[in-house]
């Protein structure tokens, strides 16, 4: 663990964050070291970006431009930068990694097996994420407890042993109704696809609208049976790194 990441410190930090408003949570996170916020441009991430921009907080904002995003998502990057006067750094997969994946599985091979889908997420998300977080002390995310059963116990602060940094989830206790009310009150730009039944938006081939009664993330990788399916950004997938040989 790094200097401020003992179990006792994390428990104390978690409790302190719980008592603060969003801007206070972000400000405290930024005071702990070099802070990087990874945004997928989803509705909760837009709330965080708006707070960073509005309060001029010293937090780097980055996104993983996977090459398979919806056009609505791509357009929202520029619109958000203009609205809040900040830079959203884009991190993209390496062309040689994409070629290696396609040679082994086919460009859309992720539909064929969980292994192939994890390999695609590894190339398009996990490797760019590693580049985005290089040298960071603090990783800020838009994780919320209400997003899925797999995220129901999301804390405000946790240690990420895989990346050896402190992970701050400032919206952990916000439900979707609170998010929507805040977006309306602050006139925060959001992806228009949210109004078309897409509460969670990832890559275009891997995202569908949800059906009535489904969880917020049910439209992600919908062809898989595991209800707790994730891409690996927030759940360690140690086997993924060996699926595609690293580029030289």
Rounded to an integer, what distance in angstroms lies between the CA atom of residue 6 and that of residue 12? 10
For residue 130, what are the contacts with CB-CB under 8 A and spacing of at least 6? 163
In 3D space, the residue among 193, 144, 136 whose CA is nearest the CA of residue 169 turns out to be 144
Are the beta carbons of 143 and 236 closer than 8 angstroms? no
Which residues, listed in sequence order, are joined to residue 207 by a DSSP beta bridge?
Answer: 220
What is the chain's alpha carbon radius of gyration, rounded to the nearest angstrom? Answer: 18
Contact (Cβ atoms closer than 8 angstroms) between residue 32 and residue 17: no
Instruction: Note whether 168 and 27 are within 8 A (CB).
Output: no
CA–CA gap between residue 43 and residue 194 (Å, rounded)? 8
d(CA 223, CA 114): 10
Q: Which of 120, 121, 203, 231 is catalytic?
A: 231
**Catalytic residue at 231?**
yes
**Active-site amino acid positions:** 231
């Amino acid at each position: 663990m790094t200097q401020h990441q003992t179990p006792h410190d994390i428990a104390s930090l978690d409790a302190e964050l719980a008592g603060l408003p969003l801007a206070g949570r972000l400000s405290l996170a930024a005071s702990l070291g070099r802070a990087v916020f990874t945004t997928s441009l989803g509705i909760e991430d837009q709330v965080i970006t708006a707070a960073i921009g509005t309060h001029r907080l010293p937090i780097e904002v980055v996104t993983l431009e996977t090459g398979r995003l919806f056009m609505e998502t791509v357009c929202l990057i520029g619109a958000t930068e203009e609205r809040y006067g900040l830079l959203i750094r884009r991190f993209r997969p390496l062309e040689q990694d994409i070629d290696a994946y396609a040679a082994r599985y086919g460009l859309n091979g992720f539909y064929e097996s969980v292994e192939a889908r994890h390999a695609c997420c590894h190339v398009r998300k996990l490797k760019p994420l590693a580049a985005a977080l290089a040298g960071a002390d603090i990783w800020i995310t838009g994780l919320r407890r209400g997003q899925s059963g797999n995220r129901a116990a999301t804390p405000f602060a946790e240690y990420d042993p895989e990346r050896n940094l402190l992970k701050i989830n400032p919206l952990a206790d916000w439900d979707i109704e609170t998010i929507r009310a805040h977006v309306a009150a602050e006139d925060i730009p959001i992806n228009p696809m949210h109004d078309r039944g897409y509460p969670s938006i990832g890559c275009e081939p891997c995202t569908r609208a949800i059906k009535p009664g489904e969880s917020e993330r049910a439209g992600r990788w919908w062809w898989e049976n595991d209800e707790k399916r994730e891409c690996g950004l927030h759940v360690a997938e140690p086997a993924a790194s060996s699926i595609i040989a690293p580029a030289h």
